[in-house]
Amino acid sequence: MTPSHIKDLYRVIFKSYDKPFLKEHIEKMMELDKYLPYSSTFFCVTNTQKLTFEYISKNYTACLGLDANELKTQGMRYFWSRIHPDDVDAWLSALNSLMEFTLKEIPENRRKDANYTWNFRLKNAEGIYVNIVQNTTPLVFDSEGKPIIGLAHYTVLDANIKMDITASTKLLNSKNEYETIYFNNFSQKLLNEGISNRERDIIRLLVLNNTSKQISEKLSISSHTVDTHRRNILKKLKISSTGELVGMLKMNQHWL
């Protein structure tokens, strides 16, 4: 997916007709940033209408080794260009789903109490794709109640951690505690969409520890055809062995 396509889809998700003012929010963030210790977390004030970062905290460079001025100058397009190519589709699907859920399921007068989390991989200054968990709280809404300005916290996790791309929405309850009201796993969704019915049959039998010969007998196809399907499944899921596939799916039976 090209950067222009990403921009077009992003604009559709966050389309608005208002031009909110950020000065008050940015001033508060700058005051807070002075007292925060260096850590694996940085935050930004994001403007989904201008595709800009209105403020970038001091920890950004410490976390990723990247130049904050470059991010401030080039905006979200630069940030998107560093997202792992394999994560872009799921990331956009997550954003769109969160927006749809917000507009359909959260009353407009409650949206100020919402909080959103999703994740993706981002290339740091060393060229390593680290895991990023983004947690965003809306600051400003348009006239239709759509969140368009947010305070985004980014937590950087080790690149070796395997993470599905998920998205969730939390809402403050009567006890003033955040309660999860929406969750979806978009890596699972892509798996469901990418695997054919015949491949799904083979996966189910593999999880039950059937050999290629046993699978061929149960499905009335040749062992060679079974092996071909197995190779295609590994290629689609970008994993190296049937053992890894079986282990992954045994922990996530609902994928089947």
pTM of the shown model: 0.70
The model's pLDDT over 215-235, given as tens digits with 9 standing for 90+, comes to: 999 999 999 999 999 998 888
| Domain extents in the chain | 3-188, 195-255
Please tell me the distance from the alpha carbon of residue 127 to that of residue 117, in angstroms, as a whole number: 25
pLDDT at 22 over 70: no
Domain 195-255, CATH: 1.10.10.10
pLDDT score for 116: 96
Confirm if 94 and 166 have CB atoms less than 8 A apart: yes
Question: What is the mean pLDDT of the segment spanning 8-22?
Answer: 62
pLDDT at 184 over 80: yes
CA dist., res. 72 & res. 74, Å (int): 6
Q: Which two tokens stand for residue 18?
A: 């208002």
User: In Å, what is the CA distance from 47 to each residue of 3, 75, 220?
Assistant: 18, 9, 57
Q: What is the pLDDT of residues 29-62, one digit of tens each?
A: 777 777 777 788 999 999 888 889 989 999 999 9
On the question of pLDDT at 3 being above 80, the answer is: no
Helix, strand, or coil (residue 185):
strand
DSSP per-residue letters across 111-138? GGGEEEEEEEEEE-TTS-EEEEEEEEEE
**77 in helix, strand or coil?**
helix
The tokens for 20 are 């909110």
Residue appearing with tokens 């100058």: 73
Strand partners, 138: 150
State the pLDDT confidence band at 179, using cuts at 50, 70 and 90: very high
Higher local confidence (pLDDT), 42 or 149: 42
Q: What pLDDT shows up at residue 254?
A: 44
- Evaluate whether 135 touches 115 at the Cβ level (below 8 Å): yes
14 has pLDDT over 70: no
Tokens for 23, please give them: 């000065």
In the predicted structure, residue 201 carries a pLDDT above the cut 70: yes
> Is the distance from CB of 5 to CB of 30 less than 8 angstroms?
no
**88/120 Cα distance (integer angstroms):** 8
Superfamily holding 3-188 = PAS domain (3.30.450.20)
Question: Does the pLDDT value for residue 253 go beyond 50?
Answer: no
d(CA 57, CA 41): 9
What does the pLDDT read at residue 255?
45
**Residue 59: is it exposed, middle or buried by C-beta count within 10 angstroms (0-12/13-18/19+)?**
buried
